[in-house]
Amino acid sequence: MHTKTMLTWLITKTTGGKTRVQIIKSLKNAPQNANQLSTELKLSYKTICHHLKILQKNKLLTTINNTYTTIYQLSKTMEENYHLFEDLINIKPLNVTTF
């Protein structure tokens, strides 16, 4: 699937789009583990893990495994197409209301 089409679907056409936007924006700033994201975004650990799994399945995230935890970061594909993501979240109106 084309990256723009996939991003459009994952961000604007599904109920979890707002959460995925928050996760992507947070990981753009710095790689983090699920617990750090949960604390920062004030969302349950289970919710964060669910969305991380979806983003990773769609090759928008990669992981760094160390002894104690899994660190998530934006994939090379996501980094290269971050401008498409920014365009999507700046279009009004979206099904996703606030970022």
For 51-93, what is the HEC assignment? HHHHHHHCCCEEEEECCCCEEEEECHHHHHCHHHHHHHHHCCC
Mind listing the domains of the chain with CATH numbers?
A: 3-90 (1.10.10.10)
Band (pLDDT 50/70/90 cuts) for residue 58 is very high
Least confident residue range of 6-20, 34-48, 49-63: 6-20
pLDDT digits (tens, 9 = 90+) for 23-33: 999 999 999 99
What was the pLDDT predicted at 1?
60
On whether the CB atoms of residues 58 and 6 are closer than 8 A, the answer is yes
pLDDT digits (tens, 9 = 90+) for 62-96: 999 888 899 999 999 999 999 999 998 887 554 54
Q: What is the mean pLDDT of residues 28-53?
A: 97
